[in-house]
Amino acid sequence: MTAQPSDSTEFPPEITLKPLALIGLSGLDTINNAIHKTIWDAFSNNRRLDRASVQFKLLHNTFEFPVIKPKRNSYEWYIPKGILKKNWIPKRVSLIPAVVVIFYDMEWNDPQWNEKIIECASRVQSIRAAVEGHATRVAVVVVQSGLSPPPSEYMLGAERAQVLCSACEIQSKSLFVLPHSDHLMGYIVRLENAFYDIAQNYYHHETKNIKQHRDHLNKTTHQYLFVRHQFKLGFLNELKQDLSTAHKHYMHAYNNLLETRQVDTNIHEIRTVAGYINYKLCKLLFALNLARDAIAQLKSHIERYKNRIGPTELLFEHYAWIARQYSAFGELFDEAIGLGLPAIQSQHPGFYYQHAAQFTVKRRQAMRSVCCEALQYPPPPDPMEGIVEFYGQRPWRPGRLSADPHDPQKEQAAVLALQYNERVFNHSGMIISFLSSAITQFKTFHSPRMRKQLVVEMANEYYYCADYGKALTLLTHMLWDYRREKWWFLASHVLNRALQCAYLSAKIQDYIQLSIEALSRHIQVPNNDKDRIFRNVMSVLNLNIPAPEPDLPASSQSRALELWQMAIEKEPMTVIIDMMNISSFLEVKTKFTQVKYRMDDTIEVELFVRLTYNTTLQAKAVTLTIATNTETIEIPIVDNETSIVKLEGDKVKRFSCQFKSNPHDIGSNLSIKNVSFILDNERRRKVIMNFKIEENKSIEPTIHPELLHFILSPKSDYEYDCIVPMNTTSITSRECRLSIEIENAVPALQGEWFPTTFKVINNEDSLVYDMTIALSLLSSPDNPNPETVTELSFKHGEPQPQPLKFQVGNVDKASTYSNTFFLKTNRTATATVQLRVTYNIDFQETPKLQCVKDFTTKITVIKPFEVSTKFVELSFMPITKCFVDDPFIVMPEIKILSPWDLLILDTELETVDCFGYGDHKKPTSCISNLQVAEKNIASDAISVQAKYKPKDPPTRVGLYNIMWRRKSNTCGHCVMSTTALSGIAIEECPISIEVNYPEVVELMTSVPLKCRLTGRTDVPIRLSLTVEGTDTYIFSGYKKFSVTVPPKDKFELCYNILPLVTGNTIPPRLKATVLGDNTRQEVITEIFEKNFPRNIFVMPKYK
């Protein structure tokens, strides 16, 4: 909570404090007795919010209760002298406890029990005597050591407690035992709650008493008492913490007060009391979480009392009172928010503080109109002296109720005293304080603009109380925002006030800056007198005192002159103004004439200046600051061969300057950083106007040049508006006159070392020297990270680290340099090779200029051939699977894709584990030393057999290596390409069959057909064999019989067959049926099918 400024309207502390039930603790010797001290501390210290709403007061023996007033039996003749007595609340909150608790040290088994009980009873009696007349409750706490009594003594305890109660004449529920050993805090909290209950009971009783009075009252004479009694009821209920009942009674009090007759003499009292009751009402409503009702209550309260002005000579009191209502409410609201009440942008405490400030302004106005004659305090006797018994009564006529002033002279003196006090009151301080509270709130509740307005009001307040420095600081900060949002009217208002402050405080820097901004075409100045402001700037430049601003407070003018006399010839001699942040009378645009410059070009910068204020401005020097990444250079602008630049009002002037770039800056950017105008009249003081150009600040075009074409009568500065500033440029190296010729036989083949010959030709006008060539691979979308799969080298077959660097040395004019590099890649994509040629060349103006030229060449890489695989059985019939130990043929087919003729030198197949060569040794290649051309297909054949059946079907048979080279390449380096050949399924068969038969036989000639069955498993296999005869053969041997193929052994069958016809014949075939376990039937049928000849060619018999 912010501290509120104080004045006579401030609420007394007893009103603003939260009422807590008062409980007196007696018999605690906190100074000498450590245990008592602990108990007291436990009661009184570190009270958290969750503990009972009570307040403890330590009663000493000397404590005196307020004397009770005699009970009034009849109100018939009683006329109240005021509404609320000032001492009633303090009595309730600090003098009359609801409960007095007597602490007494005593053990139940105390040896001197009888003496103890007498002493305790006498203490109770003395307290009773002291509170005589009040209904204060009495309770006794027996403080014990807390050693838990054994069960046998429990009876004794109960009995003695009973005795103690009767001795002290208290009820047994008012007797408490406090063991002080362990868990003291727990006991204390329980005791506290018990006391709180008693206290509530007491306050309830008190309210009953007050309610009884009501019947005796009548409306004509006792209207004040209606208010007073309801207020008391409200307050007692608050003590009892019955907030809604309290609110009800306060509301009655408030309404009763509204009904009282109001005259000039009691207006102050009614207003004051109404304010207090309203405060209580709002506070309770916030506590009851009825914030809307609280706001409505305040609104209706203000509405009701807004027009109850009272005597006009004390009008300021009325406004002071309203301001206080608002500020107090703001505080309550703020407190409630602190306790968790949500507030929104349109309803928060800031508005109430703002109202408080506004009414304080009105209060000041009222003071100015009514207090003009109160030039001094009235002579003694001081009317303000005197003790007032009631809230809001006047000290010079306490307790008087009649409407007419009884002593006009005294009344007049009193009014004068009040007026004088008001005259010397620091209104500005109060307004500033309210405003600062409001500003904080508006900031919290997302109202930056409202906040700004209040800050400006605050600055005005500082201005009125002649604190120009503070006002200036606030105003210059606010100016920034209004300028940014282009609210020029508001900005002008702020700026003019700031300029007044700057003048009055003689702050040269601020004065010059604000004056220059005031000359902007956006700013309106009083009387439209910009010439005066311009003259003032020139005066300060010439070390003369400027003319005062209009409408200055007369009292400050002479002081300002003194300040200027002191300041004018002192620092700051150089006034630097950042023009980009203010709106001013100068506008600047800069532009490089080109986006890019070559190293040997001359860089040109154009500078356009527009002076929007109609005058002639002479700058002693104008400089342009340009930054490179190594240095910052300043270039003076020269206009007609002099550095003095003259600008004319409402005209655009163009300047240009040229310079050469530094060889260090190749590849970097140049940017214009700053344009400075220096005003200097040779009188020691100068003004530097800096236009800082920020790169990252995106220049939002507020004017769209393309739209300006539509304007019927072009503005005079049409061209200026169309200029698009260009503040950065880049420097590239000079154009390099080297060329290159590339010679190679593309496409390159995958895997080969591909030679490329390049020839660098020097077309420069002179010798170039220190030439180096760097070769590197460029990545492209279809070939990222080319260096991982591609090798570069200057030597065939030996990869070298990339990039390849090569020192060439000197190359004469018009001569050439050539070399060959090799490229080997495993990826069939286009490889891009960059050749960066770096060299030095001498020129007249820049000796040893380094030049760089990049050349690129693209090399397409293709596959030399494609390999596909076929699997065939020994009879060259295609197969899709093979059997263990059953040889078959792998036929790799090499399809040539290369446009160049190739020579296949050799091939080989490296089988994987589960395959072996059919002939048990590596066969020689069938296609070695074969010359092939594009689209040829070279077929190889290798006999292979499966050794065993692996767990998973093999993915490949093996790796097929092909040694090859280009036919044209005779130097002997060959390339080895490796391809994986696809796999074939392997099956196991329990037997293997070998059939021997002649492929060609003669007609009518008997030939043997031998068949050997070999068992491959550990168990014998029984087969039933049948011979399927044909018409073309007759045969001898068993036609149908069963055999047992022994495990790991052979069984041989032998037939003789005799062909009967010539030509292709089908010989008799054996068919087998497995006897027993026929799960293998299928595979056995298959292997028989496969191994028995399907045809035999029969020749006619030679005769």
Partner 1 sequence: MAVCVAVIGKDNSPLYIGGIGNDTSTDNELSRQWLVHTALDALEERLSTTNTSNTNSSANTARTDLRDLYLGLLYSTDTHKIYGYVTNTRIKLVLVTSSTSPSGSNIRDAEVRTALRRLHALYADAICNPFHLPGDQITSQKFDKQVKSLMLNNV
484 vs 596 by CB, closer to partner 1: 484
Stretch that binds partner 1, among 442-450, 670-678, 869-877, 1005-1013 (CB under 8 A): 442-450
Our finding on whether 711 is near partner 1 (CB under 8 A) is: yes
The minimum distance between CB 2 and partner 1, in angstroms, equals 22
User: Which of 632, 594, 622, 623 is CA-nearest to residue 728?
Assistant: 594
135 vs 708 by CB, closer to partner 1: 708
Q: Could you tell me the two tokens for 758?
A: 């390049």
Q: Is the C-alpha dihedral spanning 716, 722, 727, 732 positive or negative? A: negative
The minimum distance between CB 864 and partner 1, in angstroms, equals 55
- DSSP-derived pairing of the beta strands 686-692 and 669-680: antiparallel
Our finding on whether 393 is near partner 1 (CB under 8 A) is: no
User: Which of 885, 1084, 1094, 1096 is CA-nearest to residue 990?
Assistant: 1084
Our finding on whether 296 is near partner 1 (CB under 8 A) is: no
Options 94, 171, 255, 345; binder of partner 1; rule CB under 8 A:
345
The minimum distance between CB 65 and partner 1, in angstroms, equals 50
1002 bridge partner residues: 1099
Our finding on whether 252 is near partner 1 (CB under 8 A) is: no
In the numeric block, the tokens 């009252």 are attached to 217
Our finding on whether 325 is near partner 1 (CB under 8 A) is: no
DSSP letter assigned to residue 380: S
Q: How many residues of this chain bind partner 1 (CB under 8 A)?
A: 22
Distance between CA atoms of residues 314 and 535, nearest Å: 48
Helix locations, 397-551, DSSP H: 408-424, 427-444, 448-464, 468-484, 488-505, 508-518, 530-541
Stretch that binds partner 1, among 162-170, 707-715, 832-840, 1068-1076 (CB under 8 A): 707-715
Stretch that binds partner 1, among 213-221, 709-717, 750-758, 852-860 (CB under 8 A): 709-717
25-to-35, 121, 154, 375, 772 alpha-carbon distances in Å: 14, 16, 28, 54, 102
517 vs 791 by CB, closer to partner 1: 517
The minimum distance between CB 344 and partner 1, in angstroms, equals 9
φ/ψ of 880, rounded to 5, equals: -115, -10
222 vs 451 by CB, closer to partner 1: 451
Options 34, 258, 375, 703; binder of partner 1; rule CB under 8 A:
703
**Cα angle vertex 532, ends 531, 533, to 5°?**
90
From the number of C-beta atoms within 10 Å of its C-beta (0-12, 13-18, 19+), residue 916 rates as middle
Which amino acid appears at position 86 of this protein?
K
Our finding on whether 304 is near partner 1 (CB under 8 A) is: no
Our finding on whether 520 is near partner 1 (CB under 8 A) is: no
Contacts of 934 (CB under 8 A, 6+ apart): 896, 897, 898, 899, 900, 901
194 vs 450 by CB, closer to partner 1: 450
The minimum distance between CB 490 and partner 1, in angstroms, equals 5
Distance between CA atoms of residues 978 and 601, nearest Å: 57
Binding mask 598-637 for partner 1 (x = CB under 8 A): ----------------------------------------
Which amino acid appears at position 703 of this protein?
I
Options 698, 710, 929, 955; binder of partner 1; rule CB under 8 A:
710
Stretch that binds partner 1, among 585-593, 671-679, 700-708, 758-766 (CB under 8 A): 700-708
Our finding on whether 489 is near partner 1 (CB under 8 A) is: yes
Our finding on whether 408 is near partner 1 (CB under 8 A) is: no
Our finding on whether 712 is near partner 1 (CB under 8 A) is: yes
The minimum distance between CB 482 and partner 1, in angstroms, equals 8
User: Which of 802, 690, 632, 819 is CA-nearest to residue 742?
Assistant: 819
640 vs 702 by CB, closer to partner 1: 702
User: Which of 803, 802, 793 is CA-nearest to residue 752?
Assistant: 793
Our finding on whether 497 is near partner 1 (CB under 8 A) is: no
420 vs 487 by CB, closer to partner 1: 487
Distance between CA atoms of residues 751 and 962, nearest Å: 11
Q: Could you tell me the two tokens for 274?
A: 């109404």
Our finding on whether 292 is near partner 1 (CB under 8 A) is: no
406 vs 446 by CB, closer to partner 1: 446
Options 707, 784, 952, 1000; binder of partner 1; rule CB under 8 A:
707
Contacts of 588 (CB under 8 A, 6+ apart): 579, 607, 608, 609, 610, 675, 691
Options 493, 497, 966, 1069; binder of partner 1; rule CB under 8 A:
493
580 vs 963 by CB, closer to partner 1: 580
Distance between CA atoms of residues 327 and 332, nearest Å: 9
Options 46, 558, 696, 702; binder of partner 1; rule CB under 8 A:
702
Distance between CA atoms of residues 936 and 928, nearest Å: 15
- DSSP-derived pairing of the beta strands 99-105 and 137-144: parallel
Options 74, 346, 409, 880; binder of partner 1; rule CB under 8 A:
346
Options 292, 704, 858, 1048; binder of partner 1; rule CB under 8 A:
704
711 vs 937 by CB, closer to partner 1: 711
633 vs 708 by CB, closer to partner 1: 708
Our finding on whether 1039 is near partner 1 (CB under 8 A) is: no
Our finding on whether 342 is near partner 1 (CB under 8 A) is: no
Contact assessment for residue 392 and residue 271, using Cβ atoms and an 8 Å cutoff: yes
Our finding on whether 551 is near partner 1 (CB under 8 A) is: no
**Cα angle vertex 205, ends 204, 208, to 5°?**
90
The minimum distance between CB 585 and partner 1, in angstroms, equals 19
- Strands (E) in 133-174, as ranges, are 137-144
The minimum distance between CB 961 and partner 1, in angstroms, equals 59
DSSP letter assigned to residue 1080: G
The minimum distance between CB 836 and partner 1, in angstroms, equals 49
416 vs 498 by CB, closer to partner 1: 498
User: Which of 261, 264, 230 is CA-nearest to residue 247?
Assistant: 230
Stretch that binds partner 1, among 65-73, 151-159, 441-449, 1022-1030 (CB under 8 A): 441-449
Our finding on whether 147 is near partner 1 (CB under 8 A) is: no
Hey, which residues between 446 and 485 contact partner 1 (CB under 8 A)?
446-450, 453, 485
The minimum distance between CB 453 and partner 1, in angstroms, equals 5
Residues 165-198 as b or e (16 or more Cβ within 10 Å = b): bebbebeeebbbbbebeeebeebbbebbebbbeb
Options 18, 205, 304, 486; binder of partner 1; rule CB under 8 A:
486
Stretch that binds partner 1, among 287-295, 332-340, 486-494, 503-511 (CB under 8 A): 486-494
Our finding on whether 487 is near partner 1 (CB under 8 A) is: yes
Distance between CA atoms of residues 520 and 586, nearest Å: 8
User: Which of 987, 1102, 1010 is CA-nearest to residue 1056?
Assistant: 1010
Distance between CA atoms of residues 293 and 275, nearest Å: 17
Our finding on whether 309 is near partner 1 (CB under 8 A) is: no
Stretch that binds partner 1, among 74-82, 628-636, 704-712, 898-906 (CB under 8 A): 704-712
The minimum distance between CB 458 and partner 1, in angstroms, equals 14
Q: What is the 3-state secondary structure (H, E, C) of 54-106?
A: EEEEEECCCCCCCCCCCCCCCCCCCCCCCCCECCHHHHHHHHCCCEEEEEEEC
14 vs 461 by CB, closer to partner 1: 461
Binding site for partner 1 (CB under 8 A): 345-346, 446-450, 453, 485-487, 489-490, 493, 702-704, 707-708, 710-712
